[in-house]
Amino acid sequence: MKILLTGFEPFADVEVNPSQQVVEALSQQSIAGIHIVHAILPVEYELAGNQIRQLIYAHEPDAVLMLGVARKRDVITLERVAINVDDAETPDNTGSVRSGHPIIWHTSPIAYLSTLPIIPMMERLKEKDFPAKISNHAGTFVCNHIFYLASHEYDRMNAYVPCGFIHLPPASENYTLEMMIDAIRVCVELLREIDV
């Protein structure tokens, strides 16, 4: 099974992005039955959007798992919905600020649901003592931007590929980087089980 696993570079006041650290750590691990294609995306609307689409077409993964950091959350959150809007006061790393800007114009859907098995993932994480919850809002910054575009590509291709987004909390004593690495490994292994 081939899984595309992505994280993000630092941005704004996030000097170290745990999503980058988790992706880089997992890319060095051997997980039976899984080939991880990993990428660290820029926190830039246009470039990150272009790169996620290029990665999908170049690698044709069996699943896409995108990670980012949510600075105000204290547990791993499995995102249910990507919406067709960029709207954030935080500038991306080019300085671009977007307010009510559609990601794709014209007749594109207002939202896409995650096709990751987020309920089984949450249940498995809790079984393994990793605090987790489901979120109905992936925000309106670059995380949501790539989540929407990746989902749109599969919709446009009329292809069913598990695809979705998980937000990590900032690393802390309560949720260490090592815990996050292990937790996302649990999610990756669950995707392998479902693919069998």
Q: Which structure tokens are listed for 81?
A: 């919905």
* pTM, full prediction: 0.96
Q: How many domains does the chain have?
A: 1
User: What confidence tens digit (pLDDT) does each residue in 150-183 have?
Assistant: 999 999 999 999 999 999 999 999 999 999 999 9
Q: Which structural domain, as residue segments, surrounds residue 141? A: 2-195
Give me the residue label for tokens 């996050």: 180
Q: What is the domain-level CATH number for residue 10?
A: 3.40.630.20
Q: What is the mean pLDDT of residues 39-46?
A: 98
Q: What is the pLDDT of residues 131-143, one digit of tens each?
A: 999 999 899 999 9
Query: How much helix, strand and coil, in percent to the nearest 5, is found in the chain?
Result: 35, 25, 40
Query: Residue 196: pLDDT above 60?
Result: no
DSSP state letter for 170: P
Cα torsion for 93, 95, 99, 103, to the nearest 10°?
Answer: -50
Question: pLDDT tier at 105 (50, 70, 90 boundaries)?
Answer: confident
Q: Which residues are catalytic?
A: 79, 143, 167
Place 194 in a pLDDT band, splitting at 50, 70 and 90: confident
